Amino acid sequence: MYDLNGKVAIITGGASGMGRAASILFARHGANVVLADLNAQSGEEVARLASESGNQALFHRTDVSVEADVAALVARATKAFGRLDIMFNNAGIGGAVGPLEGISVEDWDRTQAVCLRGVFLGMKYAVAPMRAAGGGSIISTASIAGIDGYPNLHAYSAAKAGVVNLTRSAALEFACDRIRVNCIAPGGISTPILYGFAGNNKAAVEAMLAQGQPYPRAGQPEDIANAALFLASDASQFITGHTLVVDGGATAGPIALAPKPGQNRPPPERTFAGPSFEQ
């Protein structure tokens, strides 16, 4: 169902976390992959792992906030493989974290440059080769922080909200070209970007994340990679302008009201609340 045979994919932020998982998964499902990142050592290693599926995977060092870098990335993919079918704008940073009054303009701008401008540039340069190929799928990594408010994540939340609405406007513009534009809004995902906040203690991070949503485990990079695979494949060919939330139920409602694993629950009883005058 999720067949990417003959397709060419660019994945930014491909050297670690969700991008790493997506690079390996897309190659395993038949795509030739160009993965982009600033981390050349890890990027080359991921390209090697992805190539073990029998498909080609290349690494291209890219700063997604720099227009010339993104243009060169797309040119590399089209030169190497002759087309572009999938653009996964996944690269991101945590950016400016803390009280709004303490955020410097420089940190604010850098957050927007990577998390929002990078998505804009990926879309901008992907469109022409996708149009030439007869269509394509653009996927971007947003966040539940772009849907709900989170204290101390002002710059990140603003950038990810921008990704959500840029997805909608671009979907309207490019639907006539059979170019679908969607984004994924992850919840708490166990990735290296979070480990630094807990002394590089992965187990502690995952224990914390598991408490952050009703589903009783931390989100994994593969959860996002699987969602991206669906949006990249023809299985989602009638879906565009959509934000796919992958968060273990974190945004479904008040987490405090969700039953906890092992919690004793009252036996089900038939109840009904009618009009107030019947009470």
Residues carrying an active site annotation:
156
Number of H helices, E strands in the chain: 9, 7
Rounded Cα–Cα distance for residues 38 and 177 (Å): 31
> What is the token pair recorded at 249?
């139920």
**At a CB cut-off of 8 Å and minimum separation 6, what does 122 contact?**
10, 12, 64, 70, 87, 89, 138, 140
Rounded Cα–Cα distance for residues 62 and 31 (Å): 20
Contact between residue 138 and residue 90 where contact means Cβ atoms under 8 Å apart: no
**Distance of CA 95 to CAs 27, 148, 175, 246, 262, Å?**
30, 18, 32, 21, 37
Rounded Cα–Cα distance for residues 53 and 277 (Å): 67
> What is the token pair recorded at 226?
């699987």
**Where on the phi/psi map is residue 178: left (φ > 0), alpha (ψ -120 to 50), or beta?**
left
Torsion 81-82-87-90 (CA) sign: positive
